[in-house]
Structure 1
Amino acid sequence: MSLVGRSRQFISIIKRISKNPRSYSSVSANGPSEPIISSTIIGNQPTSSIPPPLESAAVDRAAGKPWSFLKYTLIAALTGGVATASYATYAYTLEEVDEKTKALRASAKISGGSDLSSFDNFQAMLKPAAMTVPAKLTELYLDLRASTEEHIRGFTEPSSDMLLPDLHPLEQHVFTLVLDLNETLLYSDWKRDRGWRTFKRPGVDDFLEHLAQFYEIIVYSDQQSMYVDPIVDRLDEKHCIRYRLSRAATRYQDGKHYRDLSKLNRDPARVLYVSGNALESCLQSENCVAIKPWKCEAEDTTLLDLIPFLEYVARHSPKDIRPVLASYQGHDIAKEFIERSKEHQRRRQEQKQQGRLWRF
């Protein structure tokens, strides 16, 4: 074959290779060898069809395990801390919790000494480091509980430990007569056609005017002062009542506002509390004079009937009124006092007849 023919044959082979690169990977004098997949074909295939390597997925799962463990550990620690704080709040007072956690809080402040070895110093510092977080959380709990209880006391405790000013030195012998307002001195009634109306109990004016000669008279109510003050102004035109105590001076307990006579700044042996709901509204039952609640009965004489007993107490001034009131427990004091007075008069008459004077 001539040189020109060979050249043409070689050129035709080159053209076929360029048109179909899959058919030949190389060219030799003996013809094409086995076909080889070209890298360009691989590069043009869709990448989404290639599955991710198994090693990469395993690494992702392994990296997620510590974070999940940390998350559940924090949740468990938080739940345990809240449960512990709730139980401590329910079972112990603030002072008891403070006393029981002193050792825990002190352990976080221990430090090593200069005369110890490095290893001993490391051991001495390791325990405080481990106890720092519980100790700080305990201190935070104590601070939060103290501030919360102080805030709550503003609503549940009387506004002061001494609700009344000191008694004048010349009146140290005077008894304090504490009177409830509603259903004792007056009655407030509401109707749709006329709204609120307040009615005075029969005999209240004479009761206040007469006993003001012997007693320091206080009005104690669980109503707001904005209600108590105008009512007392209209009730007490002769200024027989010295002081007025309203809701801010009560103790809120078990959903009710109680009168706490221990906060009056008066000798409890010389305090009487008169109320239509005395035993249900006062924390010191030994000082209570329970009378019939008034619900607008026109023929009521309870206050006037009580005057003789209260005047007798003021005139004879017993050292402690509480045993006297205890002797009337279970009785209507006004009626029982009349019966005892009659019995006393009868005995005196008998003694006079026998020529002996029995001293009461």
Structure 2
Amino acid sequence: MICSVVPVAAIEVYMDVRSQIEDQIRGFSEPVSDKLLPDLAPQEQHVLTLVLDLNETLVYSDWKRERGWRTFKRPGVDAFLEHLGRFYEIVVYSDQLSMYVDPVVDRLDPKGNIRHRLSRVATKYENGKHYRDLSKLNRNPAQVLYISAHAKESSLQPENSVEIKPWKLENDDTQLLDLIPFLEYVAMARPSDIRAVLASYQSGDIAAEFIERSKEHQRSVDIFLCSITFLYLIDGNLNVDVPTPLL
């Protein structure tokens, strides 16, 4: 039997090279920073963060031989950004390169409702996919919503995610506009943990379910008001169950 002894110096060189290679791979696979966003100002600690995907969520990019690439705005995106920019810190988080994201966002949002934009270097690369890692945003995870046409397959935090229908140039699309009432109500209600709110919606269509809940809540309020009016007129008794909050 022939035994060979590897010199200690050779092992040390190997370990150094391996460490350098692993660091390089990690640099490509991990988000560029553990704090992708700057700290919120003290007066904005209560503000929720609305994270939006770009492709097939806010825009659609299409290539044709005769004209090359063109990017189209989803119906309702202007009203969506302008209205919700008053309630949320809006962040675009894309798996595309910054050389694509920056000019698209500049054209999409000339009024500056989108406060921050994150591109591919801010994603986590794993198993051939670029994932949005909301834990790296430097925000309270209980105050972060992520909306994407591919939320289930693009986020590492599905409990914070709302998936909408991918947009592929349909003219009658209303997905963004349909979400405005729900998102505005959430921002005004300031729930302690948005994840619990999202978990309570089981239908898969939060916008539609919210409208139905709103109608039911209004019916409960109407019944409540009629009841206390009737009881007061009869005997002055106002002992009636108060309707539960919508969220």
Same fold (TM over 0.5): yes
Where 1:226 maps in the other structure, the secondary structure is helix
Matching residue of 1:85: none
Matching residue of 1:187: 60
Say whether 1:202 aligns with 2:75.
yes
Are the counterparts in 1 of residues 77 and 176 from structure 2 also a CA contact under 8 Å?
yes
Matching residue of 1:215: 88
Give the Cα–Cα distance (whole angstroms) in 2 for the partners of residues 237 and 151 of structure 1.
Answer: 37
Matching residue of 2:233: none
Q: Show CA shifts across 1:167-207 (max 9, x none).
A: 10100000000000000000000111221111000000000
- Flag the structure with higher strand content: 2
Where 1:244 maps in the other structure, the secondary structure is strand
Q: 1:351 aligns with which of 201, 216, 224?
A: 224
Say whether 1:287 aligns with 2:178.
no
Matching residue of 1:256: 129
Q: 1:172 aligns with which of 45, 52, 67?
A: 45
Matching residue of 2:140: 267
Q: List aligned pairs for 1:221-260, cutoff 5 A.
A: 221-260=94-133
Matching residue of 2:208: 335
**305-314 or 347-356, larger mean C-alpha shift:** 347-356
Greater relative contact order (CA < 8 Å, ≥ 6 in sequence) = 2
Give the Cα–Cα distance (whole angstroms) in 1 for the partners of residues 9 and 110 of structure 2.
Answer: 60
Q: Show CA shifts across 1:203-228 (max 9, x none).
A: 00000000000000000111110111
Say whether 1:315 aligns with 2:188.
yes
Give the Cα–Cα distance (whole angstroms) in 2 for the partners of residues 218 and 212 of structure 1.
Answer: 10
User: Is there any run of 5+ residues in structure 1 with no aligned partner, and where?
Assistant: 1-68, 78-129
Give the Cα–Cα distance (whole angstroms) in 1 for the partners of residues 196 and 7 of structure 2.
Answer: 53
Q: 1:140 offset after TM fit, Å?
A: 3.8
Which amino acid is 2:66 matched to?
D
Q: 1:235 offset after TM fit, Å?
A: 0.4
Give the Cα–Cα distance (whole angstroms) in 2 for the partners of residues 308 and 155 of structure 1.
Answer: 39
Give the Cα–Cα distance (whole angstroms) in 2 for the partners of residues 187 and 175 of structure 1.
Answer: 26
Give the Cα–Cα distance (whole angstroms) in 2 for the partners of residues 350 and 134 of structure 1.
Answer: 85
Where 1:296 maps in the other structure, the secondary structure is coil
Give the Cα–Cα distance (whole angstroms) in 2 for the partners of residues 134 and 339 of structure 1.
Answer: 73
**167-176 or 338-347, larger mean C-alpha shift:** 338-347
Q: For this pair of structures, how many residues does the alignment match? A: 233
Which amino acid is 2:118 matched to?
L
Where 2:69 maps in the other structure, the secondary structure is strand
Which amino acid is 1:354 matched to?
S
Give the Cα–Cα distance (whole angstroms) in 1 for the partners of residues 203 and 27 of structure 2.
Answer: 36
Give the Cα–Cα distance (whole angstroms) in 2 for the partners of residues 348 and 331 of structure 1.
Answer: 26
Q: Show CA shifts across 1:92-150 (max 9, x none).
A: xxxxxxxxxxxxxxxxxxxxxxxxxxxxxxxxxxxxxx8xx465555444333322111
Q: List aligned pairs for 1:6-25, cutoff 5 A.
A: none
Q: Show CA shifts across 1:288-321 (max 9, x none).
A: 0111110000010110000000001100000000
Where 1:354 maps in the other structure, the secondary structure is helix
Are the counterparts in 1 of residues 203 and 209 from structure 2 also a CA contact under 8 Å?
no
Are the counterparts in 1 of residues 217 and 243 from structure 2 also a CA contact under 8 Å?
no
TM (normalized to structure 2)?
0.90
Aligned-pair identity in percent equals: 68
- Flag the structure with higher helix content: 1
Query: Cα gap change, 1:138/1:209 in structure 2, threshold over 3 Å: closer, same or farther?
Result: same
TM (normalized to structure 1)?
0.62
Where 1:306 maps in the other structure, the secondary structure is helix
**Structure 1 segments (4+ residues) deviating >4 Å:** 133-138
Give the Cα–Cα distance (whole angstroms) in 2 for the partners of residues 137 and 327 of structure 1.
Answer: 58
